[in-house]
Amino acid sequence: MPNDIVLEAQSVFATYNQTIKALNGVSFSLRRGEILALLGSNGAGKSTTLKAISNLLPAERGQVTSGQIIFEGREVRSSSPAELVRAGLVQVLEGRHCFKSLSVEENLVSGGLGRSSLRREIAEDLEKVYLTFPRLKEKRHTSSGLTSGGEQQMTAIGRALMSRPRLLVLDEPSMGLAPLIIKDIFRSLKRLNAEEGLSILVAEQNSTVALKYADHATVIENGVAVLSGRAADLRQRDDIKAFYLGEGSTLAPRRPAA
Ligand SMILES: Nc1ncnc2c1ncn2[C@@H]1O[C@H](COP(=O)(O)OP(=O)(O)OP(=O)(O)O)[C@@H](O)[C@H]1O
């Protein structure tokens, strides 16, 4: 695997309950320091792909049946989800999971505990999260359950940042949020990417926003990657627009945009 590739999925097949085929040969690669968007409609296989990457499928009676997923040279199936987090592969699951009865700050701190018990390091990391999401500093003593959906999403991302990821994986961060909040979140992610070189993999149904901030994108349909290319090129493709506006039906596999 070339040195600048952080994550590579090679023809990944996966099933649930040994019968339901969810992935039928997903391939893509993510270069160090880039943002890659995984696009696809409901049920296309985006979440399954992300769970496979963090070795979370067995917890849902799912399994990768063939293919490989390599993160920084290691096959992810040979590590537990917790080991992958310690290795720098950190995922924010769909649905912004926060501990609702804990304060925003307690939620954030919980993300750093597996990595460091040094108060100074945790305090430094907290300040960085607050720089990224200033709203969270204002709400730091509020119970997460009493914050808005956008603030909960920021808390979930902030908690992931507390474990100092090298690859941040996000499942539908825009889900259920207002356009301005979505913009705010994606801008913050883009800044982290540009200033700290953080590699980001983001699954999204909202292709407009994802293609605006991503460098590259891969479209998944029925568990197969049908198209990959530069986000700037895919933004121009009429069939992508038609597909996501619900005017088209399927995307014919075509050669990647130049
Ligand atoms: N835990 C599960 N058990 C059984 N089948 C599942 C499970 N999770 C997903 N599936 C099935 O796997 C396929 C891919 O689903 P997946 O959730 O990966 O799609 P998705 O692109 O993330 O869609 P969404 O945006 O709706 O989450 C679908 O047919 C779905 O019904």
Ligand 1 pocket check: which of 46, 50, 92, 222 to mutate, most ligand atoms within 8 Å of Cβ? 46
Stated pTM of the model? 0.91
70-103 residue pLDDT tens: 999 999 999 999 999 999 999 999 877 888 999 9
180 plus 196 within the same structural domain: yes
Q: How far is CA 205 from the centre of its chain?
A: 12
Residue 122 lies in a domain: yes
10 plus 84 within the same structural domain: yes
Domain that holds residue 21: 5-88+165-244
Q: Is the pLDDT of residue 251 over 70?
A: no
190-203 residue pLDDT tens: 999 999 999 999 99
153 plus 121 within the same structural domain: yes
184 plus 74 within the same structural domain: yes
13 plus 84 within the same structural domain: yes
Centre of ligand 1 from the C-alpha of residue 196, in Å: 32
CB 166 within 8 A of CB 198: yes
Ligand 1 pocket check: which of 47, 64, 218 to mutate, most ligand atoms within 8 Å of Cβ? 47
Residue 249 lies in a domain: no
CA 100 – CA 105 distance, rounded (Å): 12
Could you tell me the two tokens for 3?
């040195």
